[in-house]
Structure 1
């Protein structure tokens, strides 16, 4: 399996797992398990761990955990630009970069999510624009690392999915490491104006 195929497949599986769990997820579990079984170990292990959890957990419990984790905890935000820009005017410009990347591929998320949602970026890769999606992930590596740390500290099974996505990226460099540490210490900017029409969707993040 080539690296590009590994990344594209990993990202497509992650895009499904990072969406709100519903009957489509439970129905797709056998196919997802089969797909993940063919991936290399560094991504197969984390994804298989999440799939095992999903298969053993009632759908209502999966849904409750998703809402509790991603809709009610700012530190576990799935919107990548939030970490660097918070609710500030500058975030609008960052969101446009994601929007343009999706538009260039003729891709409009059916979920209606903002273009920087991690599941949307992963789906962009899974649809074939792996280079473009990976570039966006790398540009927001610090936020992705912070999300991974938050999920790990929460003991959330979603930490496995984010770990698989991170495994498709180059090793963490000093610059990204310092940026992640700075975000962890300071948090995102807090100005709450200037995001129209890009206000956060969902609950209090």
Structure 2
């Protein structure tokens, strides 16, 4: 299960030539581990082959359109269940503390709920505990899978594989609540800007200095940085700092 989680984590990071070169090793690791049912493994193999043979710039453009410019496909877990609610800030803190409890330090530039980072964490803990934490996200995984499948995206196989690893079925009520949120059109730039607009930050006399988790969520979203060695494209979100090339 460990290597399969690492492989999916690498696939869900911003595409890089390092990961592209490591695809044969990643595919071999998944095959040798045999953590997935045959159907799920074959589907994931299709994504791996598409990644290995695709033009890197096309892969990067596709990634941005899907995961950076489409909020309903966000790779930040809490976006789907907490949105702008006050619970999101505390959920971030709780997840960061869980990582720290297991000896994983998270950079100030990284969000704890970024899925590749979450999967990297799961790969570093015992499988039973990893499966338990993964099962708590299965309704999010299924919602993203359905939306990717509607777009005929090979990335849907990554989310099918994660559900197979969790061995859980999504809660229908929670899943329907997530799917009830409109599915974004990444080409509708006006709607995109409206969805991601950040609140004005005020300083000085009269400014609200209380700890507001809604404001914190907006500031977290604004903390974007480029992937290593790459310019940051518009609307980029944070990328995990660990090196995908060391995953296999």
* TM class by smaller structure: 0.7 to 0.9
Alignment RMSD, CA only? 2.7
How far apart are the structure 1 equivalents of 2:236 and 2:52?
29
Give the CA deviation at 1:81: 1.0
Where do 1:54-203 residues align within 5 Å?
Answer: 54-109=51-106, 112-172=109-169, 176-186=171-181, 193-195=214-216, 199-200=220-221, 201-202=223-224, 203=235
Question: Would you tell me which structure has more helix in proportion to its own residues?
Answer: 1
Q: Which range moves more in the overlay, 178-187 or 96-105? A: 178-187
Cα separation, 2, equivalents of 1:50 and 1:157: 5
1:17 corresponds to? 11
SS at match of 1:168: helix
CA distance in 2, matches of 1:37, 1:133: 20
Q: Gaps (5+ residues) in structure 1?
A: 1-6
Q: Structure 1-normalised TM-score?
A: 0.84
Equivalent position SS for 1:194: helix
Deviation at 1:57, TM superposition (A): 0.6
The separation in 1 between residues aligned to 2:101 and 2:120, in whole angstroms, is 14
CA shift at 1:63, angstroms? 0.6
**Match of 1:103, SS?**
helix
In structure 2, distance between residues paired with 1:130 and 1:97: 21
Unaligned runs of 5+ in 2: 183-194, 200-213, 225-234, 238-248
The alpha carbon displacement at 1:115 in A equals: 1.0
- State the number of aligned residues: 196
Which residue of structure 2 aligns with residue 36 of structure 1?
Answer: 30
Higher relative contact order (CA 8 A, sep 6+): 1
CA drift of 1:119 comes to 0.9
CA distances 1:93-138 after superposition (whole Å, capped 9, x unpaired): 1112211121112213579431111111111122235444433332
